[in-house]
Amino acid sequence: MADDDLDLNTLNDEELVEQMWDDLYDGLGEAIEESVEILLARGWTPYDILTKALVEGMRIVGVDFRDGILFVPEVLMSANAMKAGMAILRPLLVETGAPKVGKMVIGTVKGDIHDIGKNLVCMMMEGAGFEVIDLGINNPVDNYINTALEQNAEIIGMSALLTTTMPYMKVVIDTLKDKGIRSDFIVLVGGAPLNEAFADAIGADAYCRDAAVAVETAKSLISRRQGAMGSQ
Ligand code: B1M
């Protein structure tokens, strides 16, 4: 048991999820791991645990971070607790017998070290049958383009969480244009400060509000592209 005073098993689902929000807030990785296991044993889907317990808990952390109630070291602990939970869910989300539907290179842009959302997108894309090459954080333009070319990827995905780093996505897209290879790739962008208008303005193919939307968008753009190629 992660906490001597509280047996997490005695909580009903609603109480347990609220407890998980508190535990994420307090950066208690072990308690998060235990709660994730309990919810799985109760028949919750990995996706519901991810979105209703972990992502929502992180949203709450974000509000207090914004308001100056939480600071970087505390938020790092929350992020680590979140990652501990995600590590359990990852193999369950990526379990798929489906044939590979496409290949994506994805990374967080230069100057930005936020990776929780990107990692989530990786998991969900893998779970949907995509091959994912994760470039990690703080990526300069060459990382995206060289890897996408080397790996023959169809999709380039970029993540940014800061208003100061999101403009870097345009640098990547403009470089693709300068090299004459923009139309060789589907470019998907995401991250909390972005929106559709921004994605349009920088010339991305689509803005993905969350990981589930990233999967749906990737699937539909890949099949559209395959259809267009078939009719050539
Ligand atoms: Co940061 N931080 N942070 N931080 N941090 C934010 C982003 C902030 C909004 C907090 C706030 O003020 N409320 C704020 C940005 C403000 C702004 O730009 N206007 C901020 C700040 C200011 C900073 C620092 C500058 C703080 C400082 O040092 N003073 C610093 C910057 C460091 C840097 O990057 N150079 C910093 C540092 C950190 C930590 C290291 C402490 C930690 C990151 C740990 C880590 O990622 N390993 C951290 C965290 C955890 C956050 C918050 C609290 C949570 C982010 C998160 O993980 N959300 C965040 C507040 C917030 O966003 N509410 C905040 C959960 C995640 C599941 O959601 O990432 O949005 P998200 O991903 C979603 C979608 O956006 C989408 O799908 C995901 C899943 O559904 N998506 C994609 C994301 N990427 C995609 C890519 C795709 C498709 C969809 O490609 C196809």
- pLDDT for 13-64, tens place per residue? 999 999 999 999 999 999 999 999 999 999 999 989 988 999 899 889 988 9
Ligand 1, closest atom to CA 78?
50
**From the CA of 176, how far away is ligand 1's center (Å)?**
26
**Would the CB of 218 count as within 6 Å of ligand 1?**
no
| Average pLDDT across the chain, whole number | 92
* Angle at 78 (CA atoms; ends 26, 106), nearest 5 degrees: 170
Contact 106, 118 (CB under 8 A): yes
**Under DSSP, is residue 28 helix (H, G, I), strand (E, B) or coil?**
coil
DSSP per position, 114-147: --HHHHHHHHHHHHTTEEEEE--SSB-HHHHHHH
Contact 35, 21 (CB under 8 A): no
**Under DSSP, is residue 167 helix (H, G, I), strand (E, B) or coil?**
coil
Ligand 1, closest atom to CA 161?
7
pTM here is: 0.90
208: amino acid identity, one letter: C
> Which of 65, 80, 132, 135 for mutating ligand 1's site (highest number of atoms within 8 Å of CB)?
65
pLDDT in tens, 86-98: 999 988 887 755 6
**Short-list 153, 182, 184, CA closest to 170:** 182
Mean pLDDT, residues 178-201 taken together: 98
Ligand 1, closest atom to CA 55?
67
pLDDT in tens, 93-115: 877 556 678 999 999 999 999 99
Q: Residue 100 carries which DSSP code?
A: P
**Would the CB of 136 count as within 6 Å of ligand 1?**
no
